[in-house]
Amino acid sequence: MATIRPSRRIERAGVNAVRTLLEDHEHIVQEIDGGNDHGEDLFINVTRGGRRTGHYFAVQVKRATTADHLAAIGASRPTVTAAMIEDFHTDIGTHARL
């Protein structure tokens, strides 16, 4: 019988948090199936004003509970805020008008 990795719950919490943050800003988020996982966890279709912009990006989520765990996985403390999402919207809007 297959076993479930102890870290799975923490990893799922990280993916769920990023998905929720992006969906709260009305972006279209598709989770990448674990069987097709080559490092990416989410595929994002960027929207602005309720419309698709034609911009896409993939996200690899790293979720850690301590600074030591972050160091072990080779990551710095990840921080994504609503202000960063708004800055991203501004940048996308600027490039879309060029």
**Structure tokens belonging to residue 42:** 């989410």
Per-residue pLDDT tens over the stretch 34-88: 766 577 888 999 998 889 999 998 888 876 656 666 566 555 555 555 566 666 6
Q: Would the pLDDT of 95 be above 60?
A: no
The whole-number pLDDT of residue 28 equals 95
Q: Would the pLDDT of 10 be above 80?
A: no
Sheet holding 42-48, edge to edge: 28-31, 42-48, 51-59
Per-residue pLDDT tens over the stretch 13-47: 888 888 998 899 899 999 987 766 577 888 999 99
Residue 31 vs residues 19, 39, 44, 82, 95: alpha-carbon distances, Å: 8, 12, 9, 20, 26
User: 96 falls in which pLDDT band (50, 70, 90)?
Assistant: very low
Look up the pTM and report it.
0.62
